Amino acid sequence: MSAFTPASEVILRHSDEWQDRRVLFAGDLQDDLPAQLETQLSRVHTQYYHHWQSLSRSMGDRAQFGLIATAEAIAECDTLIYYWPKNKPEAQFQLQNLLSLLPLDSDIFVIGENRSGVRSAESMLASWAALNKIDSARRCGLYHGRLSQQPTFDADSFWDEYTLDDCTIKTLPGVFSRDGLDGGSALLLSTFTPHTKGKVLDIGCGAGVLATLLARHSPKVRLWLTDVDAAALAASKATLAANQIEGEVFASNVYSDVTGRYDMIISNPPFHEGMQTSLDAARTLIRGAAQHLNSGGELRLVANAFLPYPQVLDETFGHHEVLAQTGRFKVYRAVWGRDARAIKAANRDK
């Protein structure tokens, strides 16, 4: 995180406002403004591991990662600057959690891009803080209010579930495939054959749908699931438990915390960072697979058909194949082996 987002640039328009405040930053943070903004005290709570990784380098334990904010994370803060996410139920979960911990009369600032639906913050928080729009710039809106009543927060009330192929899928707000199986994941699942064996790494696991259904049909697989989203990690753990499937679930920014090698890496990688299109995670996924696949191991991923992944696959593996496709999605497969190593070395030496 380096360049400031439009939302952070709006916050910077009010630099004098923050100097004497003890600020808690939360929500969809995508830059390092909390580490740079001049305040009396700055703390961060984020549900996103890669955001925490960046901010914790300069903020230490004043930056915390997790599904639920604690009193410790909010200690001494009298002001909230909340970055509105693109997912409204996610905002409801996070704001209800944060406002239940902040002291009465705390100042609440909500900032977000207009196209993200930030306007709905006024109605969402109406029972606890009367918000008013105080600035509009960079296609963003900045809202302010004062906490007049603390909400109650019950994390259990936000859980939901659905059934898929006789499996119970546990979900939370903001988790991919929260309301049902998406078309891309369904296409990827259609390419799995029964009796798959070996170590399988599911990157960007979401609610754990891919790993769970794979294990249901191939019980001899051993599963590792990663995601950057604390809600996704909690949902995947709950999904595995609900279906009595064993697997290790842990936070990782693509391969940042992955060790060892695997027989298969599977993914339905995201191509957005907040409201912006970003292919960085998927490119890192493809290029880094070589360091985490056994010889003969394969990377299998699904992506929107228009995304330019074939070139990256060929640069890394020397080849790829399309296992399935629709008008919207393609499932790619690439195998790591001696030929792939030689081609990758040749590409590196060019």
Q: Tens-of-pLDDT digits for all 350 residues of the chain?
A: 458 999 999 999 999 999 999 999 999 999 999 999 999 999 999 999 999 999 999 999 999 999 999 998 898 999 999 999 989 999 999 999 999 999 999 999 999 999 999 999 999 999 999 999 999 999 999 999 999 999 999 999 999 999 999 999 999 999 987 778 889 999 999 999 888 999 999 999 999 999 999 999 999 999 999 999 999 999 999 999 999 999 999 999 999 999 999 999 999 987 645 444 457 888 899 999 999 999 999 999 999 888 888 999 999 999 999 999 999 999 999 999 856 554 455 455 55
Boundaries of every domain in the chain: 6-155, 159-349
What are the contacts of 308-316 at 24+ separation with CB within 8 A?
308/279, 309/282, 312/283, 312/286, 312/287, 313/286, 315/287, 315/344, 315/347, 316/286, 316/287, 316/289, 316/290, 316/340, 316/344
What CA–CA distance (Å, rounded) separates 11 from 41? 16
CATH of domain 159-349: 3.40.50.150
β-partners of residue 242 are none
Taking alpha carbons only, the member of 90, 119, 111 closest to residue 11 is: 111
CATH top-level class for 6-155?
alpha beta
What CA–CA distance (Å, rounded) separates 100 from 153? 6
Question: Is there a contact between 266 and 201 (Cβ–Cβ < 8 Å)?
Answer: yes
Residue with tokens 């842990």: 250
In this prediction the pTM is 0.92
Tokens of 323: 């296992």
Q: Do domains 6-155 and 159-349 have the same CATH topology?
A: yes
